[in-house]
């Protein structure tokens, strides 16, 4: 779906709130901090900006961010888990402003991290930017997934299949989906005013997953590390415009 310039302005505002949630949580990440504390830090940003949470109560999700450490891929519920030196932690944030949604995630190291973890973070973020660079008028949507997959697999990593990116606007998850791999068809042609959340989930080992008994946390089946980066981006006549950056 194509958004009007008025709608895009509202999505810019929502994106800025999400970017502030990133900045605030990033500054709070250190050994000993609980994931529920990071959730409080993010909730304070929503309060300050008068924004609503699109995560809270989403199919019953109890928090305003997802916190997914180490071999957890996505959708972790913040709680009593304490970050430890050497962990990696994925933080997924969202906000609604004037009815329009923003959605973005990052993965950070806690203190000093392993060389493998550093490489995984660097490659996953780079794969996201390679995907974002495909969001150009006239391109086909699934070039995004092809670009992400090329970067991740060239580094010896794998791309999660069951969870994907999405269009975004007046709902967080709109059609079409945006796989992080080549799905076998080129998909829709990109037009000015379309907005997507591009969000590679990259595993150090295989791409197989399972879900925790809480019904939310998605884990790597082989117990290896996973990273997740995401931005909300509009297709414009001047190329991709990232809304979830300050
Ligand atoms: Mg997200
Ligand atoms: Mg998303």
pLDDT tens, 149-179? Answer: 999 999 999 999 999 999 999 999 999 999 9
Q: Is residue 111 helix, strand or coil?
A: coil
pLDDT at residue 46, as a whole number: 98
Distance 199 CA to ligand 2 centre (A): 6
How far, in Å, from the CA of 172 to the mean position of ligand 2? Answer: 7
Torsional class of 86: left (φ above 0), alpha (ψ -120 to 50), beta (otherwise): left
Residue 102 carries which DSSP code?
A: E
**Sheet strands side by side (includes 65-69):** 65-69, 88-97, 100-109
Give 167-212 as a DSSP string.
Answer: E-SSSSSEEEEE-SS--SS--PBP-TT-EEEE--EEESS-S-EEE-
What's the CATH code, domain 5-242? 3.90.230.10
Find the 184 Cα to ligand 1 centroid distance in Å.
Answer: 25
Q: Which residues of the chain have pLDDT under 50?
A: none
**In whole angstroms, what is the distance from residue 135 CA to residue 187 CA?**
13
Which ligand ends up closest to the CA of 229? 1
Query: What pLDDT is stored for residue 211 in this prediction?
Result: 98
Each residue of 189-207: pLDDT tens digit?
999 999 999 999 999 999 9
Q: How many angstroms is it from 43 CA to the middle of ligand 2?
A: 18
* Residue 17 CA to ligand 1 centre (angstroms): 13
pLDDT confidence of residue 76? 98
Which residues hold their Cβ within 5 A of ligand 1, which is an ion?
Answer: 92, 103, 105, 230
Question: Whose atoms come closest to the Cα of 228: which ligand?
Answer: 1
What was the pLDDT predicted at 12?
A: 98
In this structure, what token pair is assigned to residue 126? Answer: 């780079």
Model pTM? 0.98
Side-chain half-sphere exposure of 112, counting CA atoms within 13 A: 0
User: How far apart are the CA of 92 and the centre of ligand 1, in A?
Assistant: 5
Ligand 1 centre from 155 Cα, in Å? 24
Task: Return the axis-axis angle of helices 143-154 and 115-132, rounded to nearest 10°.
Answer: 160
Domain locations in the chain as residue ranges: 5-242
As a 3-state breakdown, the chain gives helix, strand, coil percent values, each rounded to 5, of 30, 30, 40
pLDDT at 144: 98
């Amino acid at each position: 779906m194509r958004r009007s310039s008025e709608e895009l302005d509202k999505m810019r505002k929502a994106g800025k709130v999400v970017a502030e949630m990133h900045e605030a949580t990033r500054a709070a990440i250190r050994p000993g901090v609980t994931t529920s504390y990071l959730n409080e830090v993010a909730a304070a940003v929503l309060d300050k900006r008068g924004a609503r949470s699109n995560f809270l109560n989403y199919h019953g999700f109890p928090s305003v961010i997802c916190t997914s450490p180490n071999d957890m891929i996505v959708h972790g519920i913040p709680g009593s888990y304490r970050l430890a030196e050497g962990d990696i932690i994925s933080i997924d944030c969202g906000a609604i402003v004037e009815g329009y949604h923003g959605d973005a995630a990052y993965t950070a190291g806690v203190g000093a991290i392993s060389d493998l973890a550093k490489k995984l973070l660097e490659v996953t973020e780079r794969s996201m930017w390679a995907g974002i660079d495909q969001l150009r008028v006239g391109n086909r949507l699934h070039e995004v997934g092809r670009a992400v997959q090329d970067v991740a697999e060239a580094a010896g990593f794998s791309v999660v299949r069951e969870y994907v990116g999405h269009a975004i606007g007046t709902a967080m998850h709109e059609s079409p989906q945006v796989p992080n791999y080549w799905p076998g068809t080129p998909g829709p042609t990109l037009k000015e005013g379309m907005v997507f959340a591009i969000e590679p989930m990259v595993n150090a080992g295989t791409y197989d997953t399972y879900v925790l008994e809480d019904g939310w946390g998605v884990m790597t089946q082989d117990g290896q590390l996973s990273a997740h980066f995401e931005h909300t981006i509009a297709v414009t006549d001047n190329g991709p415009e990232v809304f979830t950056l300050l």
